[in-house]
Amino acid sequence: MRIGIKSLGCPKNFVDTEVICGKLREKGYQISEKIDNSDIVIINTCSFIRDAVEESIEEILNLVKLKEEGKIKHIVVTGCLPQRYKDNNLDQELPEVDAFLGVGDLLDIDNVIKSVLQGEQIYKVGPEPKFLYNHNTPRTILTPKHYVYIKISEGCQNNCFYCLIPKLRGTYRSRKMEDIIEEVKMLSEKQNLSEIILIGQDTTLYGIDLYGEYKLAELLKKLSLLKLNNLKWIRLLYTHPVHYNDELIEVIAHYPKICPYLDLPLQHISDKILKRMNRPIKKRNVILLINKLRDRISNLTLRTTFIVGFPGETDKDFEELLNFVKEFRFERLGAFVFSREKGTPAYDFPRQIPMRIKKERLKELM
């Protein structure tokens, strides 16, 4: 039995794909990233914004064509797309798909495949994802051998008004520190890793649910002190400007294994727009944080992202953003136009910006 696998979206989704592969390999299935001539193809989808939904649908339709041509036999769609549209009868919209599996149901993949092979069409999408893998969860590492992603948490509780993540991924939940450390040890011994990359919807919020306080600094400290063969770098992604504290900054600054690269999505700088986005930080605090990070962390690379065209963004707000970017000269910067997503508060906001203006602003910012 040969199973083809395709993963869309972010590294967080990619880890889910690795868990799916690990579970299936444990059951004796042969997994391949090549799609043609597979008995079953699993596509782990993204649906964070409209572009991601369109990409997922396009990839599914490509698989449907291959199925019609007899090049593959069965299609299983997992992840964020089924989770987002769990009440939209996707099995009727896409009858060629043999199974839909939600974000919280990934460990049922073996039973789902057994049912599909018996001719059943499966629709298994729970109301709110609760799943969070641990170091004992089967996982097949699909990254190059020198690095691996470690998901330290799942879900989100920030509730930014443009974002669907809490609905797609559930409430914020951290893994136990001992569990994360055990996984790092295990993978380092197995793969002789030189880099681990810590990921989560908001890594700076790590520990708040389990320990009642931010614990990322302590986790980084403990990981840095591990005696591992070849580990040189610990890289941190997806931080939130509201949840930095002095302890975290000092740990990043003084432990040489922690890569001086910070992913710090700011999304905007106008106080008015930040408030409308439900991001509880003001411009002056953002500036204080950036200056503190650059002052205390040697050779720091800062990456950020911005959204242009959020409802109510005036020419003055956009000009403020442009001037801020010119002044602070981020080493890495990404930007995208506001995507109006049903199910988010911002979908119904007044003063929506025409797409033509959003695209003009994006071009100018980049």
Within 13 Å and on the Cβ side, how many CA atoms surround 90? Answer: 27
Q: What pLDDT sits at residue 76?
A: 98
Domain ranges of the chain: 2-124, 147-365
Give the three-state DSSP class for 278: coil
CA quadruple 133, 138, 142, 146: dihedral, nearest 10: 80
> What is the rounded CA–CA span in Å between residue 11 and residue 344?
23
Q: Do domains 2-124 and 147-365 have the same CATH topology?
A: no
Burial of 287 (0-12, 13-18, 19+ CB in 10 A): middle
Residues 6+ apart with CB under 8 A from 225: none
Q: What pLDDT sits at residue 328?
A: 98
> What is the rounded CA–CA span in Å between residue 34 and residue 284?
50
Q: What pLDDT sits at residue 34?
A: 86
Report, in angstroms and rounded to the nearest whole number, the Rg of the chain calculated over CA atoms.
21
Nearest to 273 by CA among 309, 323, 239: 309
Report the alpha-carbon angle 291-293-298, nearest 5.
Answer: 115
Domain 147-365: CATH architecture, name and number where available:
Alpha-Beta Horseshoe (3.80)
Long-range contacts of 120-128 (CB under 8 A, 24+ apart): 121/91, 121/95, 121/97, 122/98, 123/90, 123/91, 123/99, 124/99, 124/100, 125/82, 125/83, 125/86, 125/100, 125/101, 126/102, 127/86, 128/104, 128/170, 128/171
User: What is the full per-residue pLDDT of the chain (366 aa) written as tens digits?
Assistant: 889 999 999 999 999 999 999 999 999 999 988 888 889 999 999 999 999 999 999 999 999 999 999 999 999 999 999 999 999 989 899 999 999 999 999 999 999 999 999 999 999 999 889 999 999 999 999 999 999 999 999 999 999 999 999 999 999 999 999 999 999 999 998 888 999 999 999 999 999 999 999 999 999 999 999 998 889 999 999 999 999 999 999 999 999 999 999 999 999 999 999 999 999 999 999 999 999 999 999 999 999 999 999 999 999 999 999 999 999 999 999 999 999 999 999 999 999 999 999 999 999 999
Q: What pLDDT sits at residue 36?
A: 82
Selected from 3.20.20.330, 1.10.10.10, 3.40.50.12160, 3.40.1360.10, the CATH number assigned to the domain covering 2-124 reads 3.40.50.12160
What's the token pair of residue 98? 């043999």
